[in-house]
Amino acid sequence: MRRTTLLTAPALLALGALTACEPTPPTGATPDSVTTPPKAPTAQPSSPTSAQPSAKPKPAKSDIAPNTPIAVAGPAETAVKASNGFGLTLYQQLKSKEGNLAFSPASISVALAMTYAGAKTQTGEEMAATLQTGPDAKAFHGAWATQLSAWQQDKDVEIAVANRLFGDKKYSFEAPYLALTKDHYGAPLQPVDFAGAPEKQRVMINGWVAEQTRDRIKDLIPPEGVTGDTRMALVNAIYFKAKWAEPFNEKVTKDDTFTTAAGTKVTTPMMSNTTFAKYAEVDGVQLMELGYQGGRFATLFVLPAENQKIGDLETKLDAALLAKWTGALKGERTWIRLPKFKIEPGKAVELSDPLKAMGMKQAFVRGAADFTGITNPQNPEDRLFVEKVYHKAFVAMDEAGTEAAAATAVMMGRAGGVPAEPKTFHADRPFLFFIRDTTTSLVMFAGRIVDPTK
């Protein structure tokens, strides 16, 4: 299924990425074995300026040690708690969409965090509550700087995070805001001509997003997403590619049955391996986390009980439950069967209604939104508000590993211990997944698979 969200304006534009079983081994069956992103630039504060710049299970080699304790967030804790809390609350707004689902809580959080940095009065208060920033805005932005910097230093996976502000060249933007977004988010200001050539700027921004995401996220902003009243677009793009700590053997992958959420049985390629993985059973739900090379990143798979509908599990999903799940994980020798899948975004998802439902209301109100921290024109008709928020996400998993990408755009405009037998984790029915940074526990991508053939 394809899902996408866009946030536009004559207001503030924030872009991100969103795309929106009964396993029983056969009798006698045995488990089969089966670039460094650029550093954030540093800005020097200045006065307000115009826009510038087979067989038997075998012991597995793995980076995951049995009973490894779950890492804590550390210096990035404020950002991690905020992003995970916000992201799983947003999931409740998105889960009603049919089919497979993928989105990036991290991408959306970063785009909106840059927007929040210029919000004041009630607008800022509502955004802080929605984004779950905590009482200290300085600590919140500092925590994001710590998290983004840590990713830039990781050499074991390909991960790139790019942020940019596209501002109308005739507008004057506040120096403290430009310094904060550049210092903490590595987001330089690029001058553009929204007023004179909106379509040209839309094509240019979409091209920039595609380049940052290795062409996985295309056409983030739809044709109506940039108008002659648009004055600023705040854009985040994330690209992630990593190899499993122990890849699956392609020769062992075989077609098998997957029971969809609708109860239909479909045939899909099913990967298989026996390895050390983090595993747990909590309240009847099976949890299994597979690590990538280097050990920092992993994907948590959540498989409901056979008699439990995935929608019922989704309704309970929040940051506390996710923390409970990850806290229960321990190293176990596990027989894993997972379907290969790919979620490709089509049309962008527009997030303004979900965000309003979460409490971020005034930011979208023409003439009432207060983003004077970004720009403070004398004419009230030239003040900014958020018109749309667009998001797209891509996630693909196969025997080698995982590739994922997401982008978010906020558009702003002017008012006018090993057991004898392995555990089994057979994902032949709908499941949830969370690609996360295990060092800080930040969820980068999240979603569900209800039919891997779609």
In the three-class reduction of DSSP (H, G, I as helix; E, B as strand; rest coil), residue 275 is classed as: strand
Averaged over 289-305, what is the pLDDT? 95
| pLDDT confidence tier of residue 21, bands split at 50, 70 and 90 | very low
Q: Are 287 and 313 in contact (CB under 8 A)?
A: no
Query: Which range (41-45, 82-86, 129-133, 410-414) has the least confidence?
Result: 41-45
CB atoms closer than 10 angstroms to residue 42: 9
112/42: higher pLDDT: 112
In CATH, the number for domain 250-340+419-449 is 2.30.39.10
More confident residue, 154 or 54: 154
β-bridge mates for residue 395, sequence order: 343, 404
Q: For 35-49, 134-148, 177-191, which range has the lowest pLDDT when averaged over its residues?
A: 35-49
Mean pLDDT of 12-25: 38
Extract the tokens encoding 251: 């020769």
Q: Tell me the backbone φ, ψ of residue 219, rounded to 5 degrees.
A: 55, 50
Residue 378 has pLDDT above 90, yes or no: no
Is 46's pLDDT higher than 60? Answer: no
Above 50 in pLDDT, residue 41? no
E strands, 73-156, are 101-103
User: CA 131, 431, 262, 252: dihedral to nearest 10 degrees?
Assistant: 140
What is the enclosing helix (H) or strand (E) of 182? helix 175-185
State whether residue 454 is helix, strand or coil.
coil
* Angle (nearest 5°) at CA 224 between 218 and 228: 115
Contacting residues for 96 by C-beta, under 8 A, at least 6 apart? none
Considering only the C-alpha atoms of the chain, give the largest distance between any 2 of them, rounded to a whole number of Å: 78
Whether the CB-CB separation of 191 and 164 falls below 8 Å is answered with: no
Domain segments of the chain as ranges: 11-20+41-53+72-243+343-414, 250-340+419-449
Q: What region, left, alpha or beta, does residue 196 occupy, with left being phi > 0 and alpha being psi -120 to 50 degrees?
A: alpha
> Is-contact 63 293, C-beta < 8 A?
yes
On whether the CB atoms of residues 424 and 49 are closer than 8 A, the answer is no
> What share of the chain in percent tops pLDDT 70?
83
**What separation in angstroms does the CA of 114 have from each of 108, 310, 349?**
10, 34, 20
pLDDT surpassing 70 at residue 9 = no
* Lowest mean pLDDT, pick from 5-9, 137-141, 165-169, 273-277: 5-9
Please state the φ and ψ torsions of residue 272, each to the nearest 5 degrees. Answer: -145, 140
Fold of 11-20+41-53+72-243+343-414: Antithrombin; Chain I, domain 2 (3.30.497)
Rounded to 10°, the helix 137-152/105-116 angle is 130
Q: What average pLDDT score do residues 413-435 get? A: 81
Q: What is the mean pLDDT of residues 109-123?
A: 97
Tokens at residue 372, please?
Answer: 């004077």
